[in-house]
Amino acid sequence: MIRPIIAANWKMHKTIPEAVSFAKQLKEEFPEPGNVDIVIAPPFTALSSVMEVLKDSPIHISAQNMHWGEKGACTGEISATMLVDAGCGFVIIGHSERRTLFGETGGMLNKKIHAALKSGLTPIFCMGETLEERESGATFRIIRKQIKEGLNNITSDDIRRVALAYEPIWAIGTGKTATPLQAQEAHRFIRETIATDLEYAHASETVIIYGGSVNPENTGSLMDQPDINGALVGGASLDFGPFADIIKISER
């Protein structure tokens, strides 16, 4: 049975005191393991402080990005080893903002996924299409390309250690959300693609979550879909109340 993931991506938000305050509230509200895995992705500056708050709780910590190298002359970058040292169990890889704003390619993301797995991190590998690509009927072609590039040479055993995230770029931070049917269609395609094109034996066990203007109002209808196993929450994760509501709705 797939265990859903509800992940908060804070992006470039929250100072250390703000992140710690949020983490304390989350720990108090969800002191015991529930029916979903709760993951929060603070900015790099707050990782260690948040880890100190959550180290005795069931809540997991994720980084928002990483470099594929173990160490070296890569000014401004963070390695998987450093993230593990800071208390991370997850790392977001391939978010559309990394692809569009920072030019990260499928080959780069593939190296990151390999490095994350080698260090024991669970990658949350993101994929999705632009509005233009959707309107031109290229959604599935784009998703298949991103899957093949990002998961190149990832073994069937390792795919069970990767969470996939479908995040249509046109729905991120826009207030627009894919309808439950549109999201389910894409999630089903992702599951079928890793089963057929990449011949992964454990595709039915793979966690696939949805990201794109998720909020308490649409969480229930999204989670009702058979191939949607959680959410990657952006704006609605910045305030404790809405994020807590999303978790509670997902646990029902």
| Per-residue model confidence (pLDDT) at position 156 | 84
Helix 216-223 with 180-196: angle, nearest 10 deg: 50
| Per-residue model confidence (pLDDT) at position 176 | 72
Residues of the chain with pLDDT below 70 are none
Per the document, the length of the chain is: 252
Distance CA 181, CA 190 (A): 14
| Per-residue model confidence (pLDDT) at position 92 | 98
| Per-residue model confidence (pLDDT) at position 74 | 95
Hey, CA dihedral for 219, 222, 226, 232, is it positive or negative? negative
- Which residues sit opposite 230 in a β-bridge? 5
> What residues act catalytically?
95, 167
The full set of domains in the chain, from first to last, is 5-251 (3.20.20.70)
Provide the whole-model pTM.
0.96
| Per-residue model confidence (pLDDT) at position 131 | 87
| Per-residue model confidence (pLDDT) at position 51 | 97
